[in-house]
């Protein structure tokens, strides 16, 4: 039971003196000159074999003399019991201290691990979101519902679990509550954030519901963009989301009514195929009973086979493109409105397209509940003016040069190069009216497109461009000549054998024909002025998103 105190000669001789009045457990050593205050201390220092002498004060009025005397048996027993209790308590405290030290060490190691992981988390701005407007906190009220960018100092900070952090931001013009969630809370900067740190936050300022409080009764929500897609089943309950789907339903009905009214027959082509339409780089491959198959990129080839028996045909079906693109107008699965028409010219095709785009708008707006939603979500919507502007591809290349619209490397686009989304949209938004962009070079278009009779290097092709969204339709006249089609297979490096069923349409009663494919989500995004096509479908599918 001896502790670490130094043991003097008295300890070695196993005698310890105790004086409850003049002794001291901290500075005593058990000698006559420096006695302990308690027998417990004597036992702790010298062990239970020590002989303990206790100072006895003589009673007044007696012949007794004050002196040291052996401790009584009862007092010794009591002291020994107390020593045992203290030892147990000390042992327990030591165990608790060791446990706490182990926990502290584990927590520190976990903190270091988390910080190391956090260093690898890089936040990037989602290109599908609208551009953030830089404002001061004092301008928060008038900018509610908009995506904003605000810089300031961390005035107060509260971390709530691993997936939520509350910041009161100060910029000298006011205070703003900001809410960070999920991945945004798990970056290195977020985990090491302190009071008076300077930060820049992006998000949307929303008014708080009744019963909640914050400066100016609103807060900036800065959640990971993926959260709204994880919680899509709840987002759908919002007025805007449900309104979009109601308009979508009416738009789908309007497309069907348009085609039915013009004598088209609706068909339902297969979604699993073994041939490509738009090239192999965007095919979703699957194992189909130990054979290679794909999800369809387009139903066009199947629709063409229906022309001799059904006449003009259309379908409203899902198409799939394995494009690793994060732009606001791309989806991996989308609703494709496709149509094929026999015995038409390229000019007929353009007229049919213009008529369809406008007729579907008229039919949708004729439905009063849908019209109310359209003008609520897009108050400035105006029906497109007819006729649509017709512009050849070569004229578009010149327009880009005339308006100083360049590539990222600062050079101009040249004839023979594809016009990507950004310059295409810049041109369309500047012209600010629907455009038929026509006659693309053959080398940048699909193998099945018919060449222009006046210039064999060009195709009778068209993209329909709409302000705010860009391309919503792609169409062309189709190759009707067997030899021309076989040459196209060779040029594109395609094996014609799997396409025998498509090729034989040119053997048995060929005709001049053409068609198009329209992305329904893009059409709706244009109609409702949606920033991204992802909001125009029930559960969007895009790169990295196949859930829920």
Residue 52: Cβ within 10 Å count: 24
- Comparing 493 with 222, the larger pLDDT belongs to 493
User: For residue 10, is pLDDT > 60?
Assistant: no
Mean pLDDT of the chain: 91
Please state, for a pLDDT cut of 70, what percent of the chain lies above it: 97
* C-beta pairs of 272-276 under 8 Å, 24+ apart in sequence: 272/296, 274/498, 275/301, 275/498, 275/499, 275/502, 276/494
Read off the pLDDT of residues 287-337 as tens digits, 9 standing for 90 and up: 999 999 999 999 999 999 999 999 999 999 999 999 887 788 889 999 999
Read off the pLDDT of residues 503-515 as tens digits, 9 standing for 90 and up: 999 999 889 999 9
- Which of the 8 DSSP states describes residue 395? H
Contact 154, 169 (CB under 8 A): yes
pLDDT at 181: 83
- Comparing 211 with 165, the larger pLDDT belongs to 165
Read off the pLDDT of residues 233-252 as tens digits, 9 standing for 90 and up: 988 998 999 999 999 999 99
3-state DSSP assignment of residue 493: coil
Which backbone phi and psi does 187 adopt, to 5 degrees?
A: -80, 165
Residue 496: Cβ within 10 Å count: 13
Inter-axis angle of helices 39-46 and 73-119, nearest 10: 70
Cα–Cα dist 58/63, whole Å: 8
Assign 60 a pLDDT band (cuts: 50, 70, 90): confident
Cα–Cα dist 446/298, whole Å: 12
pLDDT at 1: 43
Contact 266, 259 (CB under 8 A): yes
Going through 347-469 in order, the beta strands assigned E by DSSP cover 389-392, 435-438, 451-452, 455-459, 461-466
**Centroid of chain to Cα 340:** 38
Nearest to 514 by CA among 472, 476, 548, 484: 476
Angstrom distances, CA of residue 227 to CA of 191, 294, 441: 20, 30, 42
pTM of the model: 0.69
Which backbone phi and psi does 52 adopt, to 5 degrees?
A: -100, 125
- Comparing 258 with 73, the larger pLDDT belongs to 258
pLDDT at 534: 93
Please classify residue 176 by burial: count the beta carbons closer than 10 Å to its beta carbon, then call 0-12 exposed, 13-18 middle and 19+ buried. Answer: buried
Calculate mean pLDDT across residues 42-47: 91
Please classify residue 73 by burial: count the beta carbons closer than 10 Å to its beta carbon, then call 0-12 exposed, 13-18 middle and 19+ buried. Answer: exposed
Taken in order 41, 47, 53, 54, the sign of the CA dihedral is: positive
Assign 121 a pLDDT band (cuts: 50, 70, 90): confident
Residue 203: Cβ within 10 Å count: 21
- Which of the 8 DSSP states describes residue 142? G
pLDDT at 303: 97
In this structure, of 47-61, 371-385, 421-435, the range with the lowest mean pLDDT score is 47-61
Q: Where on the phi/psi map is residue 158: left (φ > 0), alpha (ψ -120 to 50), or beta? A: beta
Nearest to 133 by CA among 142, 124, 121: 142
Calculate mean pLDDT across residues 152-164: 89
Q: What is the b/e burial string over 258-271, where b = at least 16 CB atoms within 10 angstroms of the residue's CB? A: bbeeeebeebebee
The C-alpha torsion from 25 through 28 and 29 to 34, rounded to 10°, is -140
Give one DSSP letter per residue of 262-288, joined into a string.
TT-EE----SEESS-SS-GGG-EEEEE
- Which of the 8 DSSP states describes residue 416? T
User: For residue 6, is pLDDT > 80?
Assistant: no
Cα–Cα dist 519/541, whole Å: 14
Residue 119: Cβ within 10 Å count: 12
Contact 277, 297 (CB under 8 A): yes
pLDDT at 117: 86
Read off the pLDDT of residues 353-402 as tens digits, 9 standing for 90 and up: 999 999 999 999 999 999 999 999 999 999 998 999 999 999 999 999 99
Contact 327, 127 (CB under 8 A): yes
Q: Which two tokens stand for residue 191?
A: 């985990």
């Amino acid at each position: 039971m001896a502790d670490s105190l130094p043991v003097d000669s008295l300890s070695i001789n196993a005698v310890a003196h105790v004086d409850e009045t003049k002794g001291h457990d901290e500075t005593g050593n058990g000698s006559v000159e420096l006695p302990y205050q308690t027998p417990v201390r004597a036992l702790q220092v010298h062990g239970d074999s020590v002989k303990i002498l206790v100072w006895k004060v003589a009673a007044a009025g007696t012949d007794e003399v004050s002196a040291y005397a052996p401790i009584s048996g009862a007092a010794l027993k009591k002291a020994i019991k107390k020593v045992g209790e203290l030892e147990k308590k000390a042992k327990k405290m030591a165990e608790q201290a060791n446990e706490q030290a182990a926990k502290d060490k584990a927590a520190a190691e976990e903190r270091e691990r988390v910080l190391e992981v956090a260093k690898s988390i890089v936040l990037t701005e989602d290109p599908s979101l609208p551009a953030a407007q830089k404002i001061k906190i004092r301008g928060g009220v008038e900018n509610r519902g908009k995506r904003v960018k605000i810089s300031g100092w961390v005035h107060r900070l509260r971390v709530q679990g691993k997936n939520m952090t509350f910041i009161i931001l100060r910029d000298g013009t006011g205070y703003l509550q900001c809410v960070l969630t999920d991945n945004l809370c798990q970056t290195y900067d977020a985990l090491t954030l302190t009071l008076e740190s300077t930060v820049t936050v992006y998000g949307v300022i929303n008014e708080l519901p009744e019963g909640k409080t914050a400066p100016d009764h609103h807060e900036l929500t800065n959640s990971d963009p993926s959260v709204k897609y994880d919680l899509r089943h709840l987002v759908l309950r919002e007025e805007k989301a449900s309104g979009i789907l109601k308009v979508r339903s009416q738009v789908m009905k309007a497309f069907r009514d348009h085609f039915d009214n013009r004598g088209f027959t609706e068909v339902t082509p297969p979604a699993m195929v073994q041939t490509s339409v738009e090239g192999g780089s965007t095919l979703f491959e699957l194992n189909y009973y130990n054979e290679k198959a794909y999800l369809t990129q387009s139903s066009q080839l199947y629709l063409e086979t229906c022309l001799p028996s059904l006449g003009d045909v259309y379908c409203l079906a899902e198409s799939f493109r394995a494009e690793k693109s994060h732009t606001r107008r791309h989806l991996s699965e989308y609703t494709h409105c496709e149509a094929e028409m026999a015995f038409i010219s390229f000019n007929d095709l353009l007229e049919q397209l213009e008529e369809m785009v406008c007729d579907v708008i008229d039919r949708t707006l004729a439905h009063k509940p849908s019209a109310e939603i359209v003008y609520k979500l897009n108050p400035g919507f105006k029906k497109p003016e007819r006729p649509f502007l017709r512009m050849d591809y070569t004229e578009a290349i010149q327009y880009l040069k005339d308006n100083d619209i360049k590539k990222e490397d600062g050079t101009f686009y040249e004839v023979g190069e594809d016009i990507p989304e950004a310059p295409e949209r810049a041109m369309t938004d500047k012209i600010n009216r629907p455009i038929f962009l026509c006659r693309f070079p053959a080398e940048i278009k699909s193998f099945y497109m018919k060449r222009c009779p006046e210039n064999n290097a060009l195709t009778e092709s068209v993209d329909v461009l709409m302000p705010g969204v860009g391309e919503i339709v792609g169409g062309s006249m189709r190759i009707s000549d067997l030899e021309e089609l076989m040459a196209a297979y060779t040029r594109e490096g395609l094996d014609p054998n799997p396409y025998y069923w498509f090729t034989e349409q040119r053997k048995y009663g060929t005709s001049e024909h053409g068609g198009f494919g329209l992305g329904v989500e893009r059409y709706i995004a244009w109609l409702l002025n949606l920033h991204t096509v992802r909001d125009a479908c029930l559960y969007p599918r895009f790169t990295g998103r196949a859930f829920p």
